[in-house]
Structure 1
Amino acid sequence: MRRNSFAWILMAGILIQLFFCMPAIAANLKTTTSTKHRITGVVKDALGRPIKQVALSLQDASGKVVAHATSNDAGEFSFNAIAPGTYAVVATGSGFKPATSIVSVSTKGAAPVTLAMEAEKEVSLRVAAKRLNQARNSLSPDTGGSKYTFTQLAIQELPQGDNTPLNQVLLQAPGVAQDSFGQIHVRGDHANLQYRINGVQLPEGITTFGQILSPRFAQSISLLTGALPAEYGLRTAGVIDIKTKDGLLDPVANVDFYGGQRGTTEPSFEYGGSKGNFSYYMTGQYIGTDRGLEPPTSGPTAIHDTANQGSAFGYFSYFINSTTRLSLITGSAVNHFQIPANPNQPQLFTLAGVPSYPSAKVRENQFEQNYFGVLALQGVVGENIDYQIAPFSRYSAVTFNPDHTGDLIYQGAASRVFRSDWGSGFQIDTAYHGIDNHTFRLGGYFDAERAEIDNHEATFPAVGGVQSSPIPISFVDDIGLQTWIYSGYIQDEWKLTDKLTFNYGVRFDLYDGLVRADQASPRAAFEYKVFKGTTLHAGYSRQMTPPETELVQVGNIKQLAGTTGAPPSKGNGTPTVERDHLFDAGVTQEVIPGLNLGIDSYYKKAVDLIDEGQFGPALIFETFNYAKGRVWGVEFTGSYTHENIYAYENFAYSVAQGTQVESGQFNFDPSELKYISSHYIFLDHDQTFTNSAGVVYKWRKWMFSIDGIYGSGLRSGFANTGNLPFYIQLDAGITRRVPLPNNAGTLEFRGAIVNLNDRTYLVRNGTGVGVFANQFGPRRAIYGGIKWELPFTKPPSAIQ
């Protein structure tokens, strides 16, 4: 009985103790089961890039390892079921120094951890430069359009190498037609080209004969056409995107002496390198020739056609840190051209005191100046944001000096024309990659331009269009024009699947100058990789193109009434903006390894189509509009690469038409105006068929190259109803590299023949809308050069 009583008493005591201890036990159980937490984080390198396959360990306050983890492809990691306390996260990876971060785990959890691992070897500036170049490229997409790229090697493989003028390089691309005075036309547009250097759009300058930009400083040159993303606007027939050489990535030092027939001399140099965080690249060239412009005579030697051209370019950059770079881009071109004389022309007017003045003695000249500068701050923020902010400025001027006596006798007017244009502004581009499968881009562009147009003209009094006095009279007309351009865009590049990319966006442009106009322009395009080697693209873009600043005001026409310099018509509507709908679609196919084929088609419907022409002896173009325009065509491309041989073929069909002249009507004969008012006519620069082809073969240290262009002929005759005969021009080159003994560098010997078949052909025949005189293509000429690549750099070789 006692034993049972004692047992009951003992049991009751235990129950009482359990009752009073239960809260503490429950609290302890809650602490040990429900306060476990996760520690998460990411591992990055010094450039902010994620590092995968990094081994991570978690150590407690005593130094004991309590958990392990490995970073994934995004550099992310986590430790699970970690009790509150203070821990050290230790990261170790091949090629990096160990990194440690202290993390505290409270009852509320732990903040995410970021570990920055330092490379065992210091991160080189070359790696940083390549990273920033990739970031800069990501700011400029090309989804939906066509892109044709000339690499530095491809330029060197041309018969004349990097002595080839930029316009002649671009003639090897599909859809590019040749014109006189160094002009080219892309997909049926007159000019309407945008030039970009390292992604920054240069402000417009006055149209000139000389080539302002040289392939010599290009690391690559790309021609973008078609339905381009919202980032590209204003000038959209073609975007010529030049990536410059960089002294850090392209160290170079050479001198080149090139020249040949037609009195051609072309010395040049390149020098680029780096020191610490600073890199530099500089180049300069001079061109002297006795055949500067396409002459009105067919012979190989023209009369009064000497040209002297000098240009320089510099690229300088400084790394503020491994993710931020400040760059200065600057260039200049100063050119003097003699205007070729046309012998044996009849004297049309009488000048007092000058009974005879042969047309072969007419001496006209043109002087051109171009200067530009861009200051670009470019970098990356974290791993998701790329940006570039670039203020810019450009000044260009053209002075046409007439032969006062000769122009009065043969043209009835002698005009001294000066035009200058100063444009300054800034461009901002940003890209955000923080959302999976999306790249958002946002940016803006501003440009303020001031144009000065001074015209000093001498002409004769006339009655009914017939000269009434041999004594000239003079007029002065000075005009100033201020224009403002404001642009902004937003777009998203959406990777719907691994094969399908959709780019959509909108840009807004406001032009305030000759007129005030604005437009919101939607853009949409997709790119679909059907299967390996086959890519489809299609797109639509709304576009707005402002007129050039080169124009003639109403005052010019009124004061010339009753003179031999009076224009044929009286109308002078103000040039206005062009508005377009553009559709583009194409496909590229790698048929077999090394063989790539492509086809691309386009259609443009335009309102107030812009065109330009030369309507007088001064070789300066004037802007006018057609009320409506239509442009369409198709392009075929092909290239083949196999071991030491490379070949390409590009063929294009194009139609460009306009109707109803609505500005600059005074430049047209009344009968042409009447015809155009009721007919679509071909534009003067329309060329139905164009073709470019080339072959490069490398054998040991030799390189042989040949390329050619074909054109069906530009338009001619009344209202452009005719066209010139077709032409074919072949160029050929041979190159040999010779290493010098005692590490004295390398010599490159180059020989080239332009117009190998010596075909005599007309680029223009003096007829058609906005065409003033004959212009013949080049005759056969032989050139040669020696380039000395100095020993303290290692420039890329054109011959492997």
Structure 2
Amino acid sequence: MVHMLVRSAPLALLPWLAAAQGAAQTPEPAPAIELDPIVVQSSRLEQARTGIAPALGASVTRIDRETIERLPQGGGASLNQVLLQAPGVVQEAQGDLHVRGDHRNLQYRINGVIIPEAISGFGQLFDARGMRSVELITGALPAQFGYRTAGIVDITLRSGAQDPGGTASLYGGSFGQFQPSLAYGAAVGPLEYYVTGSYLRSDRGFENPTSSPNAIHNSTEQVRGLVNMAYLLDDRTRVAFIGGSNQSRFEIPNIPGQPAQFTAFGQSSYDSASLRARQWQRSSFGVLAVQHSRDALDMQLSAFVRKTSISYVPDTVGEVVLSGVAAETRKRNYSAGLQGDASWRIAEAHTLRAGFFASADITRNIANSTVLPVNAAGQAFDAPFTIQERGRIEGQLYGIYAQDEWRLTDQLTLNFGARFDVMNQQVNASQLSPRANLVWRPSEATTISAGYARYFTPPPSELLTNPALSRYVGTTLAPEVLQASPARPERAHYFNLGIRHRIGEHLTLGGEAFYRSVRDMQDLGQFGSAYIFSPYNYREGRVFGTELSAQWRRGGFLAYGNLTLSRSEGRGLVSNQYFWSAAELAQVQSKFVRTDHDQLITGSAGIAYRPWDGGNVSSTLVYGSGMRRGFANSQVVTPYVTVNLGLSQEFEIAGGGKWTARLDVLNLFDRSYQLRDGTGIGVGAPQYGMRRGVFAGLSRAL
């Protein structure tokens, strides 16, 4: 567990410390340094909000602002690139992540508020410039964390009161990347705000399906924006608004030399390098929150809305000739809800916490599939026609929780409670989920924790469909298995044991062991040309592993390393069986198979050093033993390792302000490696990691 912490005196004590230092240096009274009251109040309310939902007993990896800025790409790094430096995180195509043997299943919180996940995942919405810190919380989670349970990505945004000023920057380089950005924050009376915006143009939108450095037809344009505003009604109450948006356009990269499989539209050949498929991804959200802190009581009430969509437009003629199918796909999801959380310190040894969550979703699906008719002998005819499908799926989630943080002794704390959740979707279900974590600190240097959690994980409503399989019989899109049982909620027992030990003042070591026994284990797969995942369930599953971590921090030197060994496997298919071939379905019914995202060994490491005034040199490493491939995921992709290098220099220009110049080399040794090879369960196409890229940037402090 990488604990990248910034230790500092409490903000409220700074005036007293400054005055005391001044008195020590001169016998005459020195004026006290006064902080703007809004800064002190904002800091105090931030601490109170953090205390509403602590992760006591779980494994927490915190990456602070200083660490983000010092690693390669700095504030321009995407959220998923930052999280890859945490233990147990496996990189996936399209910016997705796997944590502790789970596929996606991550809950994103922004300043403590749950944000529903977008159809295309959440990582693309954020880059690091708007974050003060990010925490990845895994293990046996306390009762306030529900639904998405592989990990909690808890983002704390920068604020105008505590992070005044900003930057204007320009970053770019290999693959035609061009990325200007702007960030600025300030406090005006009781109002504070922080705004970020960026534009990205690149010739590397999705992962290259070939091993060449540059893909054919793979450009992207992306616009991102984020605003964090807060207004202090008084010294105990704050109203906040958070809004964000990402509008992205992608070309779908091509694989040259693919042979034509069918005759359609009078054509029996087609150059696969000239395909012109496109995909648009849009996501926007808004949060309105009221926070109140009085004596021993802290509470926050939040309302949120989220709109997300994906539109895939095929190259109809080319895709039908090459594969027999061209499916225009449009998917839209609307989500709105309420969340309330409260913390009450009723006694010195007891802190009670309770809350609720309620949300409603509407998912609309449109599919226009151009196919060819097929006779009983399996012969296709040049008579293309389009099958149109329209679907609407509504869903609701309701949940309540309560728990007690009981300090049994100065060294021993028990955090126990439960949550009750109800799901109304294609399947209606509910569950009472007890949770318990015991934390023992036998010394100031050592912390030992043991935890148990019962999990209830609804299928992602934004990805659900209800296909009419019978309409595709006798066409080139006919599935082998004519069964589409609805996706079910996952139910799991989770056990976690961890130890963290500090050696001296600078070195911290950690170890974790985890085991998850699952019924109706969820997984996701890409089953078409569109870059959209679809859920399905194994009847039973099991996931287990260990994590080791180390961190050294001293002055301007930082070094860390993580190593995770894990195994994820499932048996029996109980939903959306039509995604699979009949042979794969039979294989999985009789024995456990590895899930497609299972990776036995995952490692990450990093180092940052300030060799001279204003300079910083850093490097990060990511290792993977390879995810699964082949029939029923029986084989493994080749292992890979990538190294990134970063160099930055701060300097001042007389009358021109403070500047930072940055040079980054990603995949320093130009390793060609595969994340996927196009085979295995739920794998749509080969996907290669990025080849060596050289990027440079210049930013000015505002």
TM-score in terms of structure 2 length? 0.94
- Rg larger in 1 or in 2? 1
Instruction: Find the counterpart in structure 1 of residue 319 from structure 2.
Output: 407
The alignment status of 1:687 with 2:599, answered yes or no, reads yes
Deviations 1:410-449 (A, max 9, x none): 1211111100000001100000013121110010001100
CA contact (8 A) 1:546 1:577 kept: yes
Instruction: Find the counterpart in structure 2 of residue 354 from structure 1.
Output: 267
Aligned partner of 1:153 among 66, 90, 94: 66
The alignment status of 1:309 with 2:222, answered yes or no, reads yes
Instruction: Find the counterpart in structure 1 of residue 193 from structure 2.
Output: 280
**Which one-letter code corresponds to 2:174 in the other structure?**
Q
Aligned partner of 2:308 among 369, 372, 396: 396
* Structure 1: unaligned runs, 5 residues or longer: 1-48, 50-93, 95-118, 791-800
Instruction: Find the counterpart in structure 2 of residue 627 from structure 1.
Output: 539
Instruction: Find the counterpart in structure 2 of residue 289 from structure 1.
Output: 202
The alignment status of 1:439 with 2:439, answered yes or no, reads no
* Distance (whole Å) between structure 1 residues aligned to residue 412 and residue 377 of structure 2: 65
Instruction: Find the counterpart in structure 1 of residue 178 from structure 2.
Output: 265
Instruction: Find the counterpart in structure 1 of residue 50 from structure 2.
Output: 137
Give the C-alpha shift of residue 354 in structure 1: 2.1
* Distance (whole Å) between structure 2 residues aligned to residue 715 and residue 706 of structure 1: 28
Give the C-alpha shift of residue 359 in structure 1: 0.5
Give the C-alpha shift of residue 121 in structure 1: 7.7
Mark the CA change 1:210 to 1:497 in structure 2 (over 3 Å): closer, same or farther: closer
Q: How many residues align?
A: 672
Deviations 1:270-323 (A, max 9, x none): 010011000111000111100111111111111000011110000011000011
**Which one-letter code corresponds to 1:615 in the other structure?**
F
Deviations 1:523-552 (A, max 9, x none): 000111111210001100000000122557
Instruction: Find the counterpart in structure 2 of residue 488 from structure 1.
Output: 400
* Distance (whole Å) between structure 2 residues aligned to residue 391 and residue 467 of structure 1: 55
Give the C-alpha shift of residue 554 in structure 1: 5.6
Question: % of aligned pairs identical?
Answer: 38
Mark the CA change 1:384 to 1:551 in structure 2 (over 3 Å): closer, same or farther: closer
Aligned partner of 1:254 among 167, 174, 196: 167
Instruction: Find the counterpart in structure 1 of residue 114 from structure 2.
Output: 201
* Distance (whole Å) between structure 1 residues aligned to residue 598 and residue 312 of structure 2: 27
Aligned partner of 1:458 among 329, 347, 370: 370
Instruction: Find the counterpart in structure 2 of residue 671 from structure 1.
Output: 583
Mark the CA change 1:461 to 1:482 in structure 2 (over 3 Å): closer, same or farther: same
Deviations 1:311-369 (A, max 9, x none): 00000110000110000000000001111001001111111322431000111111011
The alignment status of 1:731 with 2:640, answered yes or no, reads no
Instruction: Find the counterpart in structure 2 of residue 711 from structure 1.
Output: 624
* Distance (whole Å) between structure 1 residues aligned to residue 122 and residue 33 of structure 2: 54
CA contact (8 A) 1:411 1:617 kept: no
Instruction: Find the counterpart in structure 2 of residue 701 from structure 1.
Output: 614
* Distance (whole Å) between structure 1 residues aligned to residue 394 and residue 483 of structure 2: 23
* Distance (whole Å) between structure 1 residues aligned to residue 476 and residue 423 of structure 2: 36
Give the C-alpha shift of residue 407 in structure 1: 1.0
Aligned partner of 2:289 among 358, 367, 376: 376
Give the C-alpha shift of residue 569 in structure 1: 1.3
* Distance (whole Å) between structure 1 residues aligned to residue 123 and residue 378 of structure 2: 37
CA contact (8 A) 1:208 1:398 kept: no
Instruction: Find the counterpart in structure 1 of residue 677 from structure 2.
Output: 765
The alignment status of 1:430 with 2:342, answered yes or no, reads yes
Give the C-alpha shift of residue 642 in structure 1: 2.0
* Distance (whole Å) between structure 2 residues aligned to residue 221 and residue 472 of structure 1: 50
* Distance (whole Å) between structure 2 residues aligned to residue 120 and residue 434 of structure 1: 35
* Distance (whole Å) between structure 1 residues aligned to residue 427 and residue 78 of structure 2: 35
Aligned partner of 2:238 among 325, 338, 345: 325
* Distance (whole Å) between structure 1 residues aligned to residue 674 and residue 147 of structure 2: 32
The alignment status of 1:186 with 2:99, answered yes or no, reads yes
* Distance (whole Å) between structure 2 residues aligned to residue 354 and residue 209 of structure 1: 41
The alignment status of 1:648 with 2:560, answered yes or no, reads yes
TM-score in terms of structure 1 length? 0.83
CA contact (8 A) 2:118 2:462 kept: no
Mark the CA change 1:557 to 1:499 in structure 2 (over 3 Å): closer, same or farther: same
* Distance (whole Å) between structure 1 residues aligned to residue 696 and residue 143 of structure 2: 45
Mark the CA change 1:549 to 1:689 in structure 2 (over 3 Å): closer, same or farther: same
* Distance (whole Å) between structure 2 residues aligned to residue 577 and residue 207 of structure 1: 20
* Distance (whole Å) between structure 2 residues aligned to residue 292 and residue 617 of structure 1: 15
CA contact (8 A) 1:706 1:732 kept: yes
**SS in structure 1 opposite 2:586?**
helix
Instruction: Find the counterpart in structure 2 of residue 776 from structure 1.
Output: 688
CA contact (8 A) 2:141 2:435 kept: yes
* Structure 2: unaligned runs, 5 residues or longer: 1-11, 13-19, 21-31
**Which one-letter code corresponds to 1:533 in the other structure?**
A
Q: Deviation above 6 Å: which 4+ runs of structure 1?
A: 119-123
CA contact (8 A) 1:450 1:481 kept: yes
Give the C-alpha shift of residue 697 in structure 1: 0.8
Deviations 1:481-516 (A, max 9, x none): 100000100000011111111100000100001110
CA contact (8 A) 1:460 1:467 kept: no
* Distance (whole Å) between structure 2 residues aligned to residue 209 and residue 410 of structure 1: 32
* Distance (whole Å) between structure 2 residues aligned to residue 287 and residue 595 of structure 1: 39
CA contact (8 A) 1:523 1:540 kept: yes
